[in-house]
Chains A and B, each alone.
Chain A
Amino acid sequence: MLAIGFGLVTASVLAIAAVGLTLQVGVTNLVNFAFADFLTLGAYLAWSMNVGWHLNFWLAAALASLGVGVVAVAANILVIRPFLRRRTPLVFLLIVTIGLSLILGNLNLAIWGSGYRSFDLPNQQPFHVGPMQFTSDQFLIIGISIAAMLGIRLLLSRTRLGKAMRSMSDSVELARASGIDTDRVTHVVWMLSGTLAGLAGVVLALNLTTFDTGLGANILFVIFAAMILGGVGSPSGAILAAVVLGLATEVSAVVVNSAYKNDIAFLALVAVLLIRPQGIVRMAGKN
């Protein structure tokens, strides 16, 4: 039962990251290999503000997440959009995002070094919910994740901006033809994706209690697995997949060596790609 509790926390972290990635990939149709470095950057920005400037942890977390959002928008404007405008083929665009990942990831390493860090937080009280046990932070992580997911849900279903995003996810050309300012929506999507990545990085670091510059890269393929399992471009699918993978990885850690627990996510990824590449939640008009 403890494992199920851990699984829910992992799922919460994963859901934030996977929704951030799937929104961006759905709208821009480009897999972003620098996404892991967004997570790491978020955790370190929050750490610098929390430990370096003695800011309240939650304020630091919010500012860091927004900071990563700004970095993501800048990465799109400075690097990715020029290549897209030139109609660079997909394989080279993927290499461009790898280049971006090398730059961002190694800037993280150059600035913050390779040592382990942890946030400055008051001592934790263990929390009991039925047979499951959480620290108060883990409980907060679940709460933040649910709030973020509800926010995204409302944004996508109730606002004009959200509808514009969904229509771009179906077809950019049609969206542009019907008068949607696709450039503006793309900026918003990168901002949203970067912010969610930053937030996911902070709560991931919080859950692990100590972290280093490998933070994001270590779980990148689990995030990819959640995105693909849920169907690219589908936030609700990504959430469902995050719950499945979060529980699967943590429960499997009871049986196998926990160093290999993320490999379960990889098996799920390969199985989905071979059997059902469109994901478990089928999107109308997406293949």
Chain B
Amino acid sequence: MDQLGYYLATLVVYFFIYNILVWGLNMQFGVAGILDFTYITFFAIGAYTAGVLTAGPASATNQHYILGLSWPFLVAMVVAALVAAVAGLALGGVALRRLRSDYLAIVMVSVGTIVFDLIANNPNLFNGNDGLGGVPSPFNDILQLDPNTYLYFFVAFSGVIMVGLGLLSHRLTSSPLGRAMRAMREDLEVAEAFGKNSVRIRLIAMMIGCAYAAIGGALLIAFISAISPSGWLPPETFVIFAALLIGGRANTLGSVLGALLIPVIFVEATRFLPKSPSNPELGAALRNVAIGALIIASLWFRPQGLLPERRWRWKGPLPARGGQGIPDA
């Protein structure tokens, strides 16, 4: 029974982290319509930044990484979010300024490939392909809990952060800023004609999303105390896209439903697929085939997602044809 509890508590932490990740992508794609095809890169930036800030000096281990400052986790998490937001600003500043969405997507995919190669091939940055390990568990130097009790503590801790970010995301989506983002997603030129600075507002959406991705990454590395390039391969971005599309874009609870259905229930269930000794990648490959099919099927059968965006509707009598007070021509 205790083992089941342990397993479920671990799943709950993953669910919380994925909620944060889907909300971040929702801000970028669901609300602002930015095709961030390299979202997982910002997750990785957050995880690595938090990792090297909270870990002790590399010389005390047999790994190679920069910094190693032994900072407290919360400070490291905030810095990780800021670093990712600045990275998003740099990328968005180049790509969002004047590119059509297909060229933007190409730039995103290219940047993702390059950052991945840079981190994987550079053993001195974040220990290269071997990955960063031995990251301390937050607060446990003070709490001194045994692993089981600590797990339940981490459920509560990540839950608090998750709820806070969820409320913030909900408020932002329905704020005037969020409305401006949604207007731009529907028609950039109309929104600009109403005096909205499209570059600035889309950059804000980009930065918020990147910060959410980084906080998710920071929580993950704090939880499992390690991350390696194989943990954030490019297809992982599309697991989060699948969650967002299936749950419902621009709907806070839609993101939660998507995070529960795709990365938690679906990916977790496929973990129990039979393993083939001749092809160790078979399970992961078939899982990603199914994710691709789910993305296409959901866009075909239910493009608005399971919980669609709530559209503002005019409650009063309909205005006369041709607009108020303006006679038909």
- List chain A positions with a Cβ less than 8 A from chain B: 30-31, 33, 79, 82-83, 88, 90-92, 94-96, 98-103, 105-107, 109-110, 113-114, 217-218, 220-221, 224-225, 228, 257, 259-260, 263, 266, 269-270, 273-274, 277
How far is A274 from B288 in the complex, measured between Cα atoms in Å?
A: 34
Contact across chains for B299 and A95 when beta carbons are under 8 A apart:
yes
Q: Is the interface of B mostly helix, strand, loop or mixed?
A: helix
Q: Determine whether B238 belongs to the interface, using a CB cutoff of 8 Å to chain A.
A: yes
Interface size range on B against A: 35 or more
Per-residue 0/1 for B100-142: is the Cβ within 8 Å of any A Cβ (1 yes, 0 no)?
Answer: 0111011101110110011001000000000000000000000
Identify 30 residue pairs between A and B in the complex whose beta-carbon atoms are under 8 Å apart, listed by A's number. Answer: A33-B109, A79-B296, A83-B300, A94-B102, A95-B241, A95-B299, A99-B292, A99-B295, A100-B292, A100-B296, A102-B238, A102-B288, A103-B289, A103-B293, A103-B296, A106-B286, A107-B285, A109-B281, A217-B113, A221-B106, A224-B106, A225-B110, A228-B103, A257-B121, A269-B106, A269-B110, A273-B95, A273-B99, A273-B107, A277-B98
Q: Hey, which chain A residues are within 8 Å of B245, CB to CB?
A: 95
Contact across chains for A106 and B292 when beta carbons are under 8 A apart:
yes
Q: Determine whether B3 belongs to the interface, using a CB cutoff of 8 Å to chain A.
A: no
Say whether, besides A90-B102, A94-B102, A274-B94, A102 and B110 are in contact (CB < 8 Å): no
How far is A96 from B114 in the complex, measured between Cα atoms in Å?
A: 23
Tell me which of B33, B111, B286 contacts A110 (CB under 8 A): B286
Q: Hey, which chain B residues are within 8 Å of A263, CB to CB?
A: 114, 117
Give the nearest-CB partner of A112 in chain B: B279
Say whether, besides A83-B300, A113-B278, A102 and B101 are in contact (CB < 8 Å): no
Q: Hey, which chain A residues are within 8 Å of B94, CB to CB?
A: 270, 274
Q: Determine whether B280 belongs to the interface, using a CB cutoff of 8 Å to chain A.
A: yes
Q: How far is the CB of B156 from chain A (nearest CB, A)?
A: 35
Q: Determine whether B160 belongs to the interface, using a CB cutoff of 8 Å to chain A.
A: no
How far is A228 from B105 in the complex, measured between Cα atoms in Å?
A: 13
Say whether, besides A95-B241, A100-B292, A277 and B107 are in contact (CB < 8 Å): no
Q: Determine whether B159 belongs to the interface, using a CB cutoff of 8 Å to chain A.
A: no
Contact across chains for A260 and B117 when beta carbons are under 8 A apart:
yes
Q: Determine whether B308 belongs to the interface, using a CB cutoff of 8 Å to chain A.
A: no
Tell me which of B33, B35, B285 contacts A109 (CB under 8 A): B285
Q: Hey, which chain A residues are within 8 Å of B292, CB to CB?
A: 98-103, 106
Q: Hey, which chain B residues are within 8 Å of A106, CB to CB?
A: 235, 284-289, 292
